[in-house]
Amino acid sequence: MFHTKPNRLMKKILVPTDFSNEAENAIKVAAQLSRKHDCELILLHMLDLPLTQLNDGGTPTDLPEAVYFMKLAHKEFEEVMSKDYLKDITIHEMVDFHDIATGILETCRTNDVDLIVMGSHGADGLKEMFIGSNAEKVVRTSETPVLVIKNEHKDFDIKEFVFASDFKNDNKETYKQAIKLANAFNAKIHLLMVNTVGNFTTTAAAKVRISEFIKNTDFKNYTINIYNDETVEKGILNFSHIIDADLIGISTHGRQGIAHFFNGSLSEDLVNHAKRPVITFKI
């Protein structure tokens, strides 16, 4: 969860990188957040090597291949660290041996990370490391909020923030995290409930449910929206397009994926298909 220090949204941001253009887009956004909130960046490169060759008691660096790939990674890091957009930011570079998703989650736990910023290719990528099952596993299992970036953002500023939910099964703690984010950016939250034929709620009942969900919170800069569409995912994407949203926020339910109330893997689908940035909050 985000730290509650005054005027400080976070202290540490983790950016996994495979040194691709997509990862660089994430680093650029993280750098902007770092300057805005005076926090540290951790740049992480995972070496997913077969470690079955190790003798008992050995370490990954005992393998010649591991030493070679570590040297390559540090050379890549030298180039990254020379970028102007990273000047005067406190940065820690890390190279570790793990499968990618497990390594990211473990790094968050051991370094008290407040936010993960990931670059993603989306559904079309086949070879990149931060798409498909890896991105989905991180989104699905991370206790830390995950911000997924698709494109380059020269000025990452959040003014219109969609918070999509059923306002029934979600834990209200995720909304409190969204409020902290909105306050940090001085953004308006658009509370969104999507109606589908298979899961329909009247507008009156939906508004009552949303009002009940947000009561006892002081945040006033919001709108309430009930939107009808073929699927929840399409509803979120179409509504976000209509209002030209800067960010889509959604909750995840651990290994069961997003929202028991819908069709299982909505957060993963959104991460893959939304061109806009998506942030996920763990319930």
Mean pLDDT, residues 94-121 taken together: 87
Q: Per residue in 235-262, pLDDT tens?
A: 999 999 999 999 999 887 654 433 433 3
CB count in 10 Å sphere of residue 123 = 12
Percent of the chain with pLDDT over 70: 77
Q: Is 45 strand, coil or helix? A: strand
Q: Per residue in 22-48, pLDDT tens?
A: 889 999 999 999 998 899 999 998 876
Tell me which residue of 178, 199, 182 sits closest to 249, measured CA to CA.
Answer: 178
Q: What is the DSSP letter of 247?
A: E
> In the chain, what are the domains?
12-149 (3.40.50.620), 160-282 (3.40.50.620)
Percent of the chain with pLDDT over 90: 38
Provide DSSP, 70-136: HHHHHHHHHHHHT-GGGTT--EEEEEEES-HHHHHHHHHHHHT-SEEEEE---TT-SS-TTSHHHHH
- pLDDT at residue 92 above 90? yes
* Residue 102, pLDDT score: 84
Name which of 33-42, 128-137, 148-157, 160-169 the model is least confident about: 128-137
- Residues in a beta bridge with 196: 199
Pairing of the two strands 40-47 and 146-149: unpaired
- In this predicted model, which residue has the larger pLDDT, 63 or 172? 172
pTM (two decimals): 0.83
Angle at 200 between CA 148 and CA 193, to 5 degrees: 35
CA dist., res. 32 & res. 34, Å (int): 5
